[in-house]
Amino acid sequence: MSRLILHRLFYGLLTLFVVSLVVFLATQALPGDAARAMLGRNATPERLETLRAQLNLDDPLALQYGKWVAGLFVLDFGDSYANALPVAEYLGPRISGSLTLMGISAVIATPIAVLLGAFSALRRDRAADHATSLASLVVAAVPEFAVGILLILAFATGALHVLPAVFAGSAGSVLADPVQLVLPVATLVIAVSPPIIRMMRASMIEVLESEYVQQARLKGLPESTVIWRHAAPNAIGPVAQVIAVQLGWLAGGVVAIEFLFGFPGIGLALMDAIATRDIPVVQAVTLLIAMVYIVVNLLADVVGLAANPKVRVSSR
Amino acid sequence: MPSTPAESSHHPADSAPDSSPTRRTVLMAGAAGAVVVPALSACGGGGSSDSGGGGRLRVGVAGGSAQDTLDAHQPTDNTDIARCHNLYESLCLFGTDYTIKMALAESVEVDGDAKLWTIKLKKGLKFHDGSAITADSVIHTLRRVTDPEALSTSSQQLSTMDRDNLKKVDELTVEVPFTEPYVTFRELLAEYAMGIVPEGYDPEKPIGAGAFKYTSFTPGERSLFAAFDGYWQGRPQIDELEIINFPDETARVNALIGGQVDAISQLPHSQLEVVKSNGNLQTLESETGMWLPFTMRVDKKPFDDVRVRQAFRLIVDREQMVDQALAGHGSVGNDIYGRFDPAYDEEKLPAQREQDIDEAKRLLEEAGYGDGLEVQLVTGPISAGAEAAAQVLKEQAAEAGVTVKLKQTNSTEYYGDNYLQWTFAQDFWVTRNYLSQAAQGSMPSAPFNETHWADEEWIRLIKKARATVDDKKRNEIIRQAMKIEHERGGYIIWGFVNTLDAFHSKVKGLEPSVTGHPLTSYGFHRVRIEA
């Protein structure tokens, strides 16, 4: 078991390395460099030259990449080209802002989706079940960006004017005005829930038809005890993996949502950094997102393995 | 994924002074001038006429990114420009009609051969930290702007200033020598990127003399400023000013509608109706000197033949282009820039050029392109309306048997290594006077000579105008230069763009301005928030 986890960790690190290399080369392949992007139309040859020298953009690519990787080993992500701040300092408040947004969304989405899935299973083939299934299918098919736009139209600028349409707060204090978080969180919750709902429904149906649940019913236990003490805990196992994967998706999904709501997190920082060819920031953010994915998938695997006695025994 | 908005222009919007009284009266009469449009009748508000005053004004400005800066002399993006206008003060300033007025300077005078300028400061002026604004501050600022180690946005325009021989005459007087005649120095001194800073100035803790002093700043997000009691035009009526970045235009409009900001710059035409239908909001439309030309390289086939250039100018239906590319929010151009220059007197300039397909065909035939011509036009989201204008041109050119192939680029590619090398492309320029614009875009030494214009006769006239101190004589020379460009230049100047801003009805004091900078040149010292 532990060997398996170490194995996975090693591959995770390898993946990160490949991601960093691909992202580095991809940003290099974009037309124009940081100096051009920053100076824009003010890019007189003299100013370009001065800035390129300042940012060491004239170094060979391998050297630029090497320097950056070497920095990683001492947890130095370099300085942002765009504003000369250390990347860690610039991204710090933004990371905590995004994590807050993702955290709140996860805490709300997980129990709601699990309960909805269970409810659907219990009402199997009745109107409520069909409605839930259809709704989760539709939402799953709509990109999260569109969900956000529809919510804005419905609650902020169109039909009703009850919620703020954009986040105009500060990354350092996202909870200062919680009402501004309602729509971005709602968008993420709606986007992240359908797979969890569908998995929970399927898993619950399977458990409800299993022998021990039939057994519990024959014993004459009250229905609520049967469902919440015997069925639900056993149904959660397979769903845990899906939940983990969905939480991993949040790390990427947050990019589009932040852009839409003007939420100053890592997503907005990434869009910004791509536009200005701010490679140190692009690298740091993509690695962070990749890392969340890898860790979450690892956790999902571990949960899956832990729930499977055969594996537990055989891979000592 | 939305691409980076073109509206966050990397473009030093700039300068220019006096517009002739005749021109101005026309504007003020609203012939095509700016108008504040109350969006329906303001409901609520109860018509309270008390001054209100105080409070924080929250402004959503287009653009902004991680490279935001507070440096007085290095602004690139709109949000930088908005901050410069409020944090710093220059020696002169542009009025809403583009006339030059004295700001920190009492007077800026030039001697006979336009090579020596004398700046006199007003008495008793203070910076935000209470220190006096003196001749030393002016000298320090001019030297900082021209520092070869950190070239500023204005450095190129001061390349002929003799920076080693700036002379302090007394505490309030500075003599500024130039190596060549330079008659437009006042225009440069009125630029927002020419704010006077004290000796020992540090952009990290910026001290200026603007209406608002620095409180806090987060690059890529927002900045906060507080009213400066010692501002030379009197303390602003609001207590605090918050400038918030909005790279995304939808978010910007939504923030205004949702009441999270009180005013926004650069309302997209597509969102005008949304704002107008809201009783609590007002729009502000300003006619400006901003133009989105097509650029024809005069040294490259087919545009090296003046007849082809003339034909292309005759192909354009200007009214249609303004209607379609700018949704009607603009006015037609006559292939001459510097419309607010005192020299720009329609009476004394060639008549408005109109579409004439037959004449265009005849000229093309004469030039040897009788059996069709195909050109590539490079376009991109460089400014609102540019891509639409390219589409319209493509259609109009077809009528004359000319095939225009569009090459689509993004901003970064457009302003990349091939910028200024495209044979046929577009660009955008803000309000400037003729000589300043020529120095930026048309002289052989100009940093952005995109048409590769190098007409000997024209260059002689510009050099002569630069050395002519007498306004009347200089304007006459400038008009001769204008006529030459109108006849054989490389620009198609089909129109001038109106800017649109929007704000909450409780925000009072903003007015139209032809400078091309949104929200009365971000003039928040004039704003009052009604209770």
Tens-digit pLDDT profile for residues A262-289: 888 888 888 888 888 888 898 899 888 8
Substitution target from B65, B280, B408, B429 for chain A, most A beta carbons within 10 A: B65
Q: Is the pLDDT of residue B17 over 60?
A: no
B159 neighbourhood in chain A, CB within 8 Å = none
Whole-number percent of chain B with pLDDT over 70: 90
Contacts of B49 (CB under 8 A, 6+ apart): none
Residue A308: band (very low, low, confident or very high) from pLDDT cuts 50, 70, 90? low
Does any CB of chain A come closer than 8 Å to the CB of residue B62?
Answer: no
Identify whether A99 is part of a domain: yes
B4 neighbourhood in chain A, CB within 8 Å = 271, 275
Token digits for B333? 């151009």
Substitution target from B43, B260, B449 for chain A, most A beta carbons within 10 A: B260
For B91-239, strand residue ranges (E) read: 92-94, 100-102, 105-110, 116-121, 167-170, 173-177, 212-218, 222-227
Identify whether A57 is part of a domain: no
Q: Is the pLDDT of residue A109 over 50?
A: yes
B417:A50 CB<8 A: no
Span A98-117, mean pLDDT? 91
Substitution target from B221, B243, B407 for chain A, most A beta carbons within 10 A: B221
In terms of Cβ atoms closer than 10 Å to its own Cβ (0-12, 13-18, 19+), residue B300 is: middle
In terms of Cβ atoms closer than 10 Å to its own Cβ (0-12, 13-18, 19+), residue B346 is: middle
Tell me the shortest Cα–Cα distance from B350 to chain A, in angstroms: 32
Which residue on chain B is closest to A171 by alpha carbon? Answer: B221
pLDDT at residue A42 in the model: 67
**Facing residue for A269 by CB, picked from B66, B67, B419:** B66
Q: Is the pLDDT of residue B18 over 50?
A: no
Tell me the shortest Cα–Cα distance from A248 to chain B, in angstroms: 20
Q: Which of B26, B196, B176, B42 is nearest to B97 (CA)?
A: B26
Identify whether A17 is part of a domain: no
Span B369-381, mean pLDDT? 92
Tell me the shortest Cα–Cα distance from A89 to chain B, in angstroms: 12
Whole-number percent of chain B with pLDDT over 90: 73
Matching residue, tokens 């006619």: B287
Q: Measure the CA–CA gap between A267 and B501, rounded to whole angstroms.
A: 28
Domain that holds residue A118: 93-314
A83:B222 CB<8 A: no
Q: Which of A290-299, B53-62, B255-264 has the lowest mean pLDDT?
A: A290-299
Tell me the per-residue pLDDT of B147-197, one tens digit each, with 9 for 90 and over. 987 777 788 889 899 999 999 999 999 999 999 999 999 999 999 999 999
pLDDT at residue A73 in the model: 82
Give kind and range of the element (H or E) at residue A297: helix A279-306
Q: Which of A33-42, A268-277, B440-449 has the lowest mean pLDDT?
A: A33-42
Token digits for A100? 């807050």
Token digits for A167? 């986040």
B12:A259 CB<8 A: no
Residues 238-277 of B with CB under 8 A from A: 244, 246-248, 251, 254-255, 257-261, 274
Does any CB of chain A come closer than 8 Å to the CB of residue B341?
Answer: no
pLDDT at residue A315 in the model: 45
Q: Measure the CA–CA gap between A78 and A282, rounded to whole angstroms.
A: 12
pLDDT at residue B45 in the model: 33
Domains, chain B, with CATH or none:
293-493 (3.10.105.10)
Tell me the shortest Cα–Cα distance from A272 to chain B, in angstroms: 6
B158 neighbourhood in chain A, CB within 8 Å = none
Give kind and range of the element (H or E) at residue B141: helix B135-145
**Mean pLDDT, chain A, whole residue set:** 84
pLDDT at residue B46 in the model: 33
Q: Is the pLDDT of residue B15 over 90?
A: no
For B111-203, strand residue ranges (E) read: 116-121, 167-170, 173-177
Count up the domains in chain A and report the number: 1
Q: Is the pLDDT of residue B242 over 90?
A: yes
Identify whether A56 is part of a domain: no
Q: Measure the CA–CA gap between B109 and B117, rounded to whole angstroms.
A: 6
Span A76-80, mean pLDDT? 85
Identify whether A74 is part of a domain: no
**Facing residue for B255 by CB, picked from A46, A168, A271:** A168
A272:B415 CB<8 A: no
Q: Is the pLDDT of residue B322 over 90?
A: yes
**Facing residue for B65 by CB, picked from A32, A262, A275:** A275
- CATH for A234: 1.10.3720.10
Residue A311: band (very low, low, confident or very high) from pLDDT cuts 50, 70, 90? low
Tell me the per-residue pLDDT of A157-183, one tens digit each, with 9 for 90 and over. 777 778 888 887 777 777 878 888 899
Span B73-78, mean pLDDT? 86
pLDDT at residue A171 in the model: 74
Determine the angle formed by the axes of helices A232-261 and A144-152, rounding to 10 degrees: 70
